[in-house]
Amino acid sequence: MANTPGHDRPSRRAAVNQRAPGETRALLRILATQSENSNPLVAVAALVMIFTMYGRVDTRGLLLWSTLAFVAGVTRHLMSRRIRGRIDTAPEERLARDFRATVWASACNSLVMGLAFWLIAAAGDMYVRMIVTLVSLVHMAAALLYLMPSVTDRLICTAGNVVQGTLFWLGVANAGGPHWELLVVYCGMYWCGMVAGREQLRQFRESLRMRDENSALLVRLERERAAVQAALEEARLANHSKNRFLAAASHDLRQPLHALTMFLGTLGFHIGGDEGRRLLGRATETLRVLEEQFNSMLDLSRFDAGVVVASPRPFRIDELLRKLGEEFRPQAEVKGLALSVQVVPALAWSDPLLLGRLLRNLLDNAVHYTNQGGITLALRRTADGLHVSVRDTGPGIPAGQQASIFDEYVQLSNPARQRERGVGLGLAIVKRIDQLLGLHLALESAEGAGSTFAIHVPEATTGSSAEVPPPPGADPLAFRLDAEVWILEDDPVALEGLEAQLRAWGAAVKPFREPQALLLALRALDRPPRWILTDDMLGQGLPGLELAQQICKEFPGVKVALITGNTEPRRQQQLRASGLPVILKPATPERLVALLGDAAPERLAATPAA
């Protein structure tokens, strides 16, 4: 009977005989659990047998059998508890010894259970024999269902019970002679139990193998995930470092561009002839494009670095839209486009500078890509706030490309990368501003039917309107400034360029490179200058803003303006809060004309649209 399972298919035999890694520990854990769970059943079976045999068999023999059954059961229980306590920490050698001890403990229990057949050998009561046989079968079935790694182990665990039961029904100790029908049932159930135990072991080993494979797969996936995460983190840190560098280097990069702008503005007073002025105009236009591209790339890096902070406040959004319409109408008219502004009086709650930058980029994009028809800038009030839209009659955007237009350097209709049409950062900045302000940017477009960009701006219930940067002032070449202007700038090239531009306008200029020298000269005069233009980031002494505030306090009649290349958000907020006129480097001649010509002071505004 023990060899019957050997007739299984080769695949099953291999699955049973192949020991999986960590199998001994897993088997012991299950065996210890099964042993503890079966202890109540074994105790009940022993009590049933004692109750059945009491008064029908020899009392001393029954007492001895009961004692042996009790000792075997308690020993097995204590062994199982001890093994469970150390199964997770014990070495493999100790676990192997524990497993062999468990097998022999089960064999002792089986032997004690089989001894009951000898107690009832002299009893002729068939009822007692059937009860003992039934309990023996239950005990045998429970033992066979234990997870054992081999047929030999299962035979050892059940031999004591099975052999004695078989001998009993063969008539060796049974005066009634052999009972073949009962013997066949008895042995048949044993054979079925062996087959079931073998199949259970195969399934257990298969599940153990799958568990190990899954664990290995999880470990590999975790390593790959960690590697990908590390690569992403490295890329993020590299991108963050790059953006932080560009944002921090903004001032240093703006200085030579600022000086070049001033020199070109001054050069216009020294060039005669149509060809010279044409070349100067081309150089100025090239510088303007370079400034726009420079500002766009720096601003994009500042958004990605997380250094741009929104400063929401109440402002008249209808006034902002009207100003934007006036600003872009000349560009639209040059292309023969009609620019319509449709607004209602409204007070919005947002950052007017960032919102203005977003709308400038959308309008600039609409003007560039619309060749006929018109552009509509509209503001209307809705139930959930203010709805602002920029609608054009341009070529439209195919549905499959509408998501990609917000990526960096994407220009659908500019494959030749013509510089006058920008570098493809305008809508990328629009996307960043939309995410920062939470404007829920939406795009509706169809190829050949134009495009509509729409945002939702919260409406303010209280507050006052904010200033909007004015449009460019008079022609710089026709501007004249009959006033004394002092300049404080620690960069010699930027100082020379600004000084040359102011002298070309007829101003009496006095340059300074140190704050203390300017203060000493100012305090020594009875009649101070009309204007003082100071850089905000000075190499030594007081910062430009603090110096300007001190001058305004000591000399109320002096007009002080700041020219800064510092784009750090916190500093921008401080400059805006000061109430002083501020020009962001590179300062164009038009901005200086608007400032010095007694126009409304230019606040720290967003840089030109890309």
Give the CA radius of gyration of the chain. 47
Angle at 135 between CA 130 and CA 138, to 5 degrees: 125
Rounded CA separation 362/374 (Å): 14
Segment (H or E) for 314:
strand 313-316
Question: Burial code of 445-464, b = ≥16 C-beta within 10 A, e = fewer?
Answer: beeeebbbbbbbbbbbeeee
Phi and psi at residue 323, to the nearest 5°:
-60, -40
Rounded CA separation 293/422 (Å): 7
The residue among 28, 49, 50, 197 whose CA lies nearest residue 131 is 49
Rounded CA separation 587/499 (Å): 13
Cβ–Cβ contacts within 10 Å for residue 359, how many?
Answer: 24
Bridge partners (DSSP) of residue 375 are: 339, 392
Question: Burial code of 191-221, b = ≥16 C-beta within 10 A, e = fewer?
Answer: eebbeebbeebbebbeebeeeeeeeeeeeee
Rounded CA separation 371/359 (Å): 20
What integer pLDDT is reported at residue 11 of this predicted model? 44
Q: Is 349 helix (H, G, I), strand (E, B) or coil?
A: strand
Q: Percentage of the chain with pLDDT > 70?
A: 77
Of 206 and 517, the one with more pLDDT: 517
DSSP string, 29-60: HHHHHHHHHHHHHHHHHHHHHHHHHTTTS-HH
What integer pLDDT is reported at residue 281 of this predicted model? 79
Per-residue pLDDT of 389-439, as tens digits, reads: 999 998 888 887 777 787 765 555 554 444 445 556 778 889 989 998 999
Fill in the amino acid letter for 318: D
User: Hey, what domains does the chain have and what are their CATH numbers?
Assistant: 4-220 (no CATH), 249-308+469-610 (3.40.50.2300), 311-457 (3.30.565.10)
Per-residue pLDDT of 16-38, as tens digits, reads: 344 444 666 777 777 777 766 66
Per-residue pLDDT of 518-547, as tens digits, reads: 889 999 888 889 999 998 877 665 678 888
The residue among 74, 173, 103, 187 whose CA lies nearest residue 137 is 187
The residue with tokens 């101003």 is: 507
The residue among 235, 239, 254, 253 whose CA lies nearest residue 305 is 239
Helices marked H in 249-273: 250-267
Rounded CA separation 204/391 (Å): 69
Question: pLDDT band at 174, cuts 50/70/90?
Answer: low
What integer pLDDT is reported at residue 1 of this predicted model? 39
| Confidence check: pLDDT of 572 > 60 | yes
pTM: 0.44
Angle between helices 180-248 and 250-267 (to 10 degrees): 40
Q: Percentage of the chain with pLDDT > 90?
A: 15
Question: pLDDT band at 244, cuts 50/70/90?
Answer: low
The residue with tokens 């306590």 is: 85
Of 120 and 358, the one with more pLDDT: 358
Q: CB of 262 within 8 A of CB of 498?
A: yes
DSSP string, 199-221: HHHHHHHHHHHHHHHHHHHHHHH
| Confidence check: pLDDT of 83 > 90 | no
Average pLDDT over residues 590-605: 61
Rounded CA separation 471/23 (Å): 82
Q: Which residues lie below 8 Å from residue 308, measured CB to CB, with a gap of 6+?
A: 299, 302, 354, 432, 436, 569
Dihedral over Cα of 182, 188, 191, 195: its sign: negative
The residue among 349, 345, 277, 356 whose CA lies nearest residue 323 is 356
- Tokens for 512? 């300074």
Of 484 and 80, the one with more pLDDT: 484
Q: Which residues lie below 8 Å from residue 439, measured CB to CB, with a gap of 6+?
A: 350, 355, 358, 433, 455, 456, 457
Cβ–Cβ contacts within 10 Å for residue 491, how many?
Answer: 22
- Tokens for 253? 């990069």
Helices marked H in 306-425: 317-334, 352-369
In the chain the first and final C-alpha atoms are separated, in Å, by: 89
Question: pLDDT band at 296, cuts 50/70/90?
Answer: low
Fill in the amino acid letter for 248: A
Rounded CA separation 327/331 (Å): 8
Per-residue pLDDT of 100-131, as tens digits, reads: 787 788 788 878 887 787 777 766 677 777 77
The residue with tokens 């009659």 is: 393
| Confidence check: pLDDT of 471 > 50 | no
Strand 442-445 versus strand 484-488 pairing type: unpaired
Question: pLDDT band at 509, cuts 50/70/90?
Answer: very high
DSSP 8-class letter at 518: H
Average pLDDT over residues 291-311: 70
